[in-house]
Structure 1
Amino acid sequence: MTEQLFQIGIKALIQNDEHQILLLKSQDYWDIPGGRMDQGEDIEAALLRELHEEIGVDHIANNQLWDVAKAVKQLPYDDMMTSLMLIVYHVQLPADQIPRSCEPGVTLHWVSPEQAADYLKNKYPEAFRQAIAQLS
């Protein structure tokens, strides 16, 4: 039996007062904020680091585990392919934390849950996207 190698991604599902979802758009794809855990890093530290790196957030008001999903596409790692397990937190930002793009070529967009579900189809599984579409 061949073992499957996984990388871990920590993601933040952020909604505004109008229940829109924050998405990042690069020229290649749409995504929710977050990224891969570094070796030796704990989950909360990875979440805060990624939010700081991607959207300039220094602290959060609240986070709650929302979902764990396996990414649709595999990723290259050395001479093999790996799967990406995504640990997604529903994150509430305090009023003094205004998201902004901190990465060149990446723009931020607030979109409806239905739009988010559609835009995320290249990375996230169907059940995950259906759950996002139901958020209000």
Structure 2
Amino acid sequence: MFERIIARLRAPAADFTSMPEADARHALGALLVRVAKADGAYLFQEIEEIDLLLADLYNLNAVEAARMRAECEKLEDAMPDTDELAHILSCDVTSGECDNLVSALWKVADADGLRHDTEEKVVAIATRGFGMSPEAAAALRA
């Protein structure tokens, strides 16, 4: 018995976050993560904003939202094409929901208090995937 315990302690840490399905909920979370990482810094303020948005959008508690964000981080890492993430999401949202999703992307982009061109580019790619004009997307930021 002790040998098994010692073997488990010496084994590399298991990755407890599984790869989620590429559904609309996780695609949105992955896009939120992608916006946050676009400037090369994935800051606490951005992570906190993502967790708050996921909790609000999907009626999750703090632990569930953090778990979902971790799953979305995996999906974001596995899917390098932002257009593909936007397409998955656009298939399951109405035009009214689209405004809320774009607003969520802007909230993450602005969470660190700085404006970065790289974050704006990710939002632009996503909104184009939703079929939204750049002017409409910019209006949602204000």
Indicate whether the TM-score tops 0.5. Answer: no
Range into which the TM-score falls when normalised by the shorter chain: under 0.3
Judging by fraction of residues, say which structure has more strand: 1
Query: Which structure has greater helix proportion?
Result: 2
Of the two, which has the highest radius of gyration? 2
